[in-house]
């Protein structure tokens, strides 16, 4: 997988930056810096191309995921993250997943499937239209999620479904509501405040 790494201070967390459809490994570097300019930033490009737009997993149409591909890509991304994190110098290997849109959605899969590895996440405009029978305990997981009240891609019902997936598994979820699907300065600031006060 293609990635970019900008080393931060050794006592600071590692941000895994996961872009939206059509983005790349650099798309969220500025967002990561705005959240904590001393963190190590690792931006990873999604391995799937939809037309020429990078994503993290295939979809059959808007809002309908190829679940077999999602399952496979999540394992692949998890192994990749675990491997590159080993190259980061220092003892602090605390990972914060930071994803926007499609990047937040693969982030959800990592949080649900690997609760021992991923305990903090910032999910900007997530959506996860997938039935999840597993009931892993996410009691140690802390999530900031921002959602739009008039998001043309993610309905309020779909946003609430994401929140319910985490609430039912006992994660601590902080919600921020914006208007649309765009990533705004205000929600990045709200995410920074949330992480600063964890
Ligand atoms: C997805 O496919 O993950 C969502 O529809 C968000 C997006 O458009 O990337």
What DSSP designation does 26 have?
A: T
CB 62 less than 6 A from any atom of ligand 1: yes
- Model pTM above 0.90: yes
Give alpha helix (H) positions in 36-101.
67-85
CA–CA dist 146, 97 (Å, integer)? 14
The interface pTM score, or ipTM, of the predicted complex is: 0.92
Strand (E) or helix (H) holding 13: none
Using DSSP's 3-state secondary structure scheme, residue 190 falls into helix
CB 101 less than 6 A from any atom of ligand 1: yes
Q: For the chain, how many structural domains are there in total? A: 1
CATH number of the domain enclosing 149? 3.40.50.1820
pLDDT band at 46 (very low <50, low <70, confident <90, very high): very high
Rg (CA), the chain: 15
What residues make up the domain containing 147? 3-12+19-196
């Amino acid at each position: 997988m293609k990635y970019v790494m900008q080393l931060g201070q050794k006592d600071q967390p590692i941000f895994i930056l996961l872009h939206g459809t059509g983005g790349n490994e650099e798309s969220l570097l500025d967002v990561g810096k705005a959240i904590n300019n001393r963190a190590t930033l690792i931006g990873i490009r999604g391995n799937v191309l939809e037309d020429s737009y990078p994503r993290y997993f295939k979809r059959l149409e808007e809002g309908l995921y190829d679940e077999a591909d999602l399952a496979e890509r999540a394992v692949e991304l998890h192994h990749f993250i675990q491997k590159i994190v080993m190259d980061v110098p220092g003892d602090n290997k605390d990972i914060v997943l930071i994803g926007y849109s499609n990047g937040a959605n693969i982030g959800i899969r990592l949080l649900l499937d690997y609760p021992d590895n991923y305990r903090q996440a910032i999910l900007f405009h997530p959506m996860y239209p997938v039935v999840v029978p597993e009931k892993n305990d996410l009691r140690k997981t802390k999530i900031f999620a921002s959602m739009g009240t008039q998001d043309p891609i993610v309905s309020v019902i779909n946003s609430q479904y994401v929140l319910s997936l985490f609430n039912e598994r006992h994660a601590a979820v902080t919600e921020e509501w914006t208007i649309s699907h765009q990533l705004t300065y205000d929600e990045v600031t709200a995410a920074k405040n949330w992480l600063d006060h964890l």
